[in-house]
Amino acid sequence: MVVREAFGRKLEFEDIYNHLTLPDEVHLLKIGAGKEIVAMRGYSRRVLSGLQSLILEGAAILPEMQGNGVYGKMLEQAHEGESVLCLRTQNPRLYAAFEKFCDKVYPGFHDTPRAVREIQKAFAEYLGCDADENGIVREYYGGLFYGEEPYHERISPLFMERLKMDLHKGDAVLVLGVKEVEEHTCQPIEE
């Protein structure tokens, strides 16, 4: 129910099934006396280009809970010190939430370093798709994945103008967030 409502349209069984079964871990957020499920997230952990990476496979938040920091709280709970966080999306609001959590986010309004492009390439390989030089996977979703086109006043122009995404054709962006790793969390490797 939460997945269908979050996307604002009827989803095929396969879409919902993939949200719940492809990730290594799935978490549900329940609130209230009846413990209603208001959000879910799925994620996996992989090494991409030699770096520990958290891959956000899917998230769904009931419309009435969106915009209240729920996604950021779910990111905090999932993050275990990985220096790279990965997200595939066509939702500029998710990108904006990701931006609040990470120290740097690519692609963005700035140039993407070559090292980040290599991680992006490894992420695309993990997903089994091809991305262009901006990290865009053309026609990934086969159309708009949402009932209504999601909009964010600052990020939507990035998607449409700089990255040349066409959400109605199903374009997705492979987003990489870099999180500075605190020195005290790194442990030397014993030989």
pLDDT at position 1 over 90? no
The per-residue pLDDT for 92 is 95
- In total, how many domains does the chain have? 1
Burial class (CB in 10 A: 0-12, 13-18, 19+), 84: buried
Asked, for residue 128, whether it belongs to a domain, the answer is yes
State pLDDT tens for residues 135-168: 999 999 888 877 788 899 999 999 999 999 999 9
User: How sure is the predictor about 67, in pLDDT bands with cuts at 50, 70 and 90?
Assistant: confident
CATH of the domain at 20: 3.40.630
Asked, for residue 131, whether it belongs to a domain, the answer is yes
The per-residue pLDDT for 41 is 85
User: How sure is the predictor about 32, in pLDDT bands with cuts at 50, 70 and 90?
Assistant: low
Asked, for residue 23, whether it belongs to a domain, the answer is yes
Please give the residue range of the domain that contains residue 68: 2-181
Asked, for residue 171, whether it belongs to a domain, the answer is yes
Q: What is the mean pLDDT of residues 97-103?
A: 93
Q: Say which residue, 184 or 164, is predicted with more confidence.
A: 164
pLDDT at position 188 over 50? no
Of 123-132, 160-169, 179-188, the range with the lowest mean pLDDT is 179-188
**Residues 172, 5, 56, 120, Cα dihedral to 10°:** 0
Residue 122 backbone dihedrals phi, psi, to 5 degrees: -65, -35
> The whole model's pTM is what?
0.80
Asked, for residue 190, whether it belongs to a domain, the answer is no
Q: What percent of the chain has pLDDT over 70?
A: 81
Among 181, 145, 179, smallest CA distance to 165 is for: 145
Cα separation, 151 vs 142, whole angstroms: 19
Asked, for residue 191, whether it belongs to a domain, the answer is no
Cα separation, 77 vs 133, whole angstroms: 31
Asked, for residue 188, whether it belongs to a domain, the answer is no
pLDDT at position 35 over 90? no
